[in-house]
């Protein structure tokens, strides 16, 4: 698969690079970013952390705003940030131009309903196609972690729970934990997956926890001044589901923090260390 380099910047002794490639899974061109720490030029094969961003975001938000490069360079951790949905003139978006569905809002699932099913298969892209591409072209080991924010936090939790053994570390910032029972999830799932709510359980963290065969420890941070806390994110549902399943969860409610990248940047070091400890 051909990679087209779009940009390249030196950062904390390593390199931040953006690439475009043709995705067979999504039937469109896709862009992703990768941070390669200095150790990548020294012949080492390094663990990789996949970061999944939230609604309306692209690969650029995390790489530019999270402040993750400095510690990733110290830890020898490669970071890969894909886009949040398929893109292109051939990809259908929300018919009303809404920001919480369609372009920028792939929800990291595999759509089954038309006209979405052809392109909106972000789960298979994140779990299978993109890692195969990364592992064929960059000096990565077989150690993988996954994290994300909001819709991307939902994606990270679901990807790990649906694919035991695929990842060795897991965390999330302000994830949508129970999309079966929140407006964002109900809108997206009804369109991508159809009206049969029993099919939605396959993409809901709280539902998946009850059946999880792997007890991969989860680190989750949530700001208590997040505007979406009560209506969309529902960390209390995640806590209850983890407790019922006896699944290891560290859920930290951070006083005064909202949903923004100021919040992510404040605690990203804790998450990078969480991943590095497990991946090394």
85 as an active site residue: the answer is: no
Reading the block at residue 273, the tokens are 């260390």
Q: What is the pLDDT of residue 52?
A: 98
pLDDT for position 115: 97
pLDDT at residue 44, rounded to an integer: 87
pTM of the model: 0.97
124 is catalytic: no
Output the CA–CA distances (angstroms, integers) from residue 153 to 2, 13, 19, in the order listed: 29, 29, 23
DSSP assignment letter at 233: I
Dist. CA 103–CA 125, nearest whole Å: 15
Q: Do the beta carbons of residue 41 and residue 12 sit within 8 Å?
A: no
Please pick, among 53, 150, 171, 266, the residue that the annotation labels catalytic: 150
Digit-by-digit pLDDT tens for the chain (280 residues) are 699 999 999 999 999 999 999 999 999 999 999 999 999 999 889 999 999 999 999 999 999 999 999 999 999 999 999 999 999 999 999 999 999 999 999 999 999 999 999 999 999 999 999 999 999 999 999 999 999 999 999 999 999 999 999 999 999 999 999 999 999 999 999 999 999 999 999 999 999 999 999 999 999 999 999 999 999 999 999 999 999 999 999 999 999 999 999 999 999 999 999 999 999 8
Walk me through the domains of the chain, giving residue ranges and CATH numbers: 3-279 (3.40.50.1820)
pLDDT at 138: 97
Question: What was the pLDDT predicted at 43?
Answer: 85
The residues near 272 (Cβ < 8 Å, ≥ 6 apart) are 49, 68, 71, 72, 75, 77
Going by C-alpha positions, the residue among 81, 107, 83, 82 that lies closest to residue 94 is 107
Task: Name the active-site residue from 226, 247, 266, 271.
Answer: 226
The answer for residues whose C-beta is within 8 angstroms of residue 196's C-beta and 6 or more apart is: none
Calpha distance 174→233 (Å, rounded): 7
SS3 216: coil
Residue by residue, DSSP assigns 120-132 as: -BHHHIIIIIHHH
Q: What is the pLDDT of residue 70?
A: 98
In terms of DSSP bridges, do strands 28-36 and 78-82 run parallel, antiparallel, or are they unpaired? antiparallel
User: Is 149:68 a contact under the CB 8 Å cutoff?
Assistant: no
- Measured over the CA atoms of residue 220, residue 226, residue 232 and residue 238, the dihedral's sign is positive
pLDDT for res 152: 98
The C-alpha R_g of the chain, in whole angstroms, comes to: 17
59 is catalytic: no
H or E element that contains 54: none
Residue 158 sits at φ, ψ, to 5 deg, of -70, -45
Residue 141 to residue 194: CA distance in whole angstroms:
38
Length of the chain: 280
């Amino acid at each position: 698969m051909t990679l087209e380099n779009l940009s390249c910047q030196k950062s904390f002794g390593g390199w931040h690079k953006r690439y475009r490639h043709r995705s067979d899974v999504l039937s469109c061109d896709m862009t992703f970013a990768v941070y390669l720490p200095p150790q990548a030029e020294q012949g080492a094969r390094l663990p990789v952390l996949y970061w999944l961003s939230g609604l309306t975001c692209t690969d650029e938000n995390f790489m530019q705003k999270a402040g993750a490069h400095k510690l990733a360079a110290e830890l020898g951790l490669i970071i890969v940030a894909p886009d949040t949905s398929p893109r292109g003139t051939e990809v259908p978006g929300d018919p009303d131009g809404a920001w919480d569905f369609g372009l920028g809002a792939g929800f990291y699932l595999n759509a089954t309903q038309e006209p979405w099913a052809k392109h909106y298969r972000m789960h298979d892209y994140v779990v299978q196609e993109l890692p195969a591409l990364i592992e064929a072209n960059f000096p990565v080991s077989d150690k993988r972690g996954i994290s994300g924010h909001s819709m991307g936090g939902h994606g990270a939790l679901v990807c790990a729970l649906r694919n035991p053994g695929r990842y060795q570390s897991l965390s999330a910032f302000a994830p949508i934990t129970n999309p079966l029972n929140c407006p964002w999830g109900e809108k997206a799932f009804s369109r991508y997956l159809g009206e049969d709510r029993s099919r939605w359980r396959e993409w809901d963290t709280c539902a998946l926890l009850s059946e999880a065969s792997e007890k991969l420890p989860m680190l989750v941070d949530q700001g208590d001044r997040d505007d979406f806390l009560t209506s969309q994110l529902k960390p209390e549902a995640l806590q209850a589901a983890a407790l019922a399943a006896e699944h290891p969860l560290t859920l930290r409610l951070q006083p005064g923090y909202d949903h923004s990248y100021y919040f992510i940047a404040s605690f990203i070091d804790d998450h990078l260390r969480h991943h590095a400890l497990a991946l090394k």
